[in-house]
Amino acid sequence: MLGKRRRLALLAEGRFTPFEAKTAVGVLRYRPDQVAAVIDSTRAGRSAGECAGVGGAIPVVADVAAAAARGADSLAIGIAPQGGGLPEAWRATLRDALTRGWDVLSGLHVFLADDTELAGIAARSGARILDLRRPPERRTVAAARAAEVDALVALTVGSDCNVGKMTAALEVTRELERRGARAAFVATGQTGMMIAEGGVAVDAVVSDFAAGAIEDLVVAAARGADVVVVEGQGALHHPGYSGVTLALIAGACPRALILCHHAGRDHIRSAEGAKHPIPIPPLAELRRAYETAAAWVCPARVTGVALNTLELDERTARAACDAAARELSLPATDPVRFGAGPLAEAIAAFRGRMHAPHA
């Protein structure tokens, strides 16, 4: 992971639940072989599977020392506080890890390598601090170059933050590969970067260059792929993050969009401090919004719906997928629960039409 094989301790102090510990859950789902333990003193003694539904028997422990006893050799911050600062309570944990010579992987907006104390400890112990949100050196202003690639570019978009855009993109990529396509996943957030060994945390790029950073990634990924699946961010209806969402759309120039939604969520959850709850519009209206926004630079179609049905029982989950499919006349699935087959199939069919002689 990020340069070498690791035995990670995932820091999720006080918040190791499926919805709060987004980064930890993502890494546990897609890179469980590189996780030694999860740190959450309020849940120590339980297993990752019990707390978060992923990671099986991987133990939850109280602190760095206990994670070391389980063989950990690196620390990754597994929760993303809104605003992206470093909670003071974590400083002792980071100090402890760095003193042991552990690399620290961080997706905070605040760069740990710029913290004099932490950088000093790392320098003495030989540990590395990997700030995943550090933007790329190269500063590109996007110019719709991604619209010119031969690969089909697909982007996951959604009704809110934390509805499953990264997961849907990863599952569709895997499913396309399983079917023999050359599919490339483009990570655009810190969790995706840990899983994919690359990418850019687009929300941390200076606004003028956010679309350009994505354009660079997509153009590079398209060189070796038939399909490029880009991890989406934010939501067009989110007052704080819609700019990031549109920058992603304009930079990636997708032709296919996968609409992601958390079944049953009717208000935007991720807008802390909003005076009134912000309603999530119906799926058909979301589709229209995303297709409208895409067309400003490069026209795109929603080709399928990915529902996160984590909180529903199996029957209700199936019914939710069926209802979404009927509402949009499109394939709809929970890619984790029921597989990404229908979404991958729709992407492959869309690609076929794009390349048909008389399309």
- CA–CA dist 9, 78 (Å, integer): 9
Q: In the range 174-193, which residues lie near its own copies by CB under 8 A? A: none
Stretch that binds its own copies, among 10-18, 24-32, 111-119, 136-144 (CB under 8 A): 136-144
* Residue from 105, 221, 293, 340 in contact with its own copies (CB under 8 A): 293
- CA–CA dist 56, 137 (Å, integer): 39
What are the residues facing 74 on neighbouring strands?
8, 103
Contact 263, 309 (CB under 8 A): yes
- CA–CA dist 307, 321 (Å, integer): 7
Quote the least distance from Cβ 168 to its own copies, whole Å. 21
Longest dimension (CA), the chain: 64
Nearer to its own copies, 69 or 274 (CB): 274
| Dihedrals phi, psi of 135, to nearest 5 degrees | -70, 160
**Binding string to its own copies for residues 16 to 55, with x set by CB under 8 A, is what?**
----------------------------------------
Nearer to its own copies, 130 or 211 (CB): 211
Q: Does 246 bind its own copies (CB under 8 A)?
A: yes
Quote the least distance from Cβ 151 to its own copies, whole Å. 16
Whose structure tokens read 């992407």?
347
* Residue from 149, 152, 157, 236 in contact with its own copies (CB under 8 A): 236
Nearer to its own copies, 35 or 289 (CB): 289
**Binding string to its own copies for residues 72 to 91, with x set by CB under 8 A, is what?**
----------xxxx------
Contact 168, 192 (CB under 8 A): no
* Residue from 41, 42, 292, 316 in contact with its own copies (CB under 8 A): 292
Quote the least distance from Cβ 125 to its own copies, whole Å. 28
Pairing of strands 256-262, 183-186: unpaired
Nearer to its own copies, 61 or 210 (CB): 210
Of 334, 313, 340, nearest to 261 by C-alpha is 334
Nearer to its own copies, 138 or 315 (CB): 138
End-to-end CA distance of the chain: 41
Q: Does 15 bind its own copies (CB under 8 A)?
A: no
Pair of tokens at residue 122: 């790392």
Q: In the range 213-232, which residues lie near its own copies by CB under 8 A? A: 215
Quote the least distance from Cβ 221 to its own copies, whole Å. 18
Nearer to its own copies, 65 or 274 (CB): 274
Contact partners, residue 79, CB within 8 Å, separation at least 6: 11, 12, 13, 15, 20, 21, 22, 23, 24
- CA–CA dist 302, 34 (Å, integer): 35
When computed from its CA atoms, the radius of gyration of the chain, rounded to whole angstroms, is 20
Contact 260, 159 (CB under 8 A): yes
Q: Does 250 bind its own copies (CB under 8 A)?
A: yes
Nearer to its own copies, 83 or 180 (CB): 83
Whose structure tokens read 């499913």?
175
Q: In the range 101-130, which residues lie near its own copies by CB under 8 A? A: 109
Q: In the range 317-346, which residues lie near its own copies by CB under 8 A? A: none
**Could you list the residues that contact its own copies (CB under 8 A)?**
82-85, 109, 139, 141-145, 148, 202-208, 210-212, 215, 236-248, 250-251, 253, 271-276, 278, 289, 292-293, 296-297
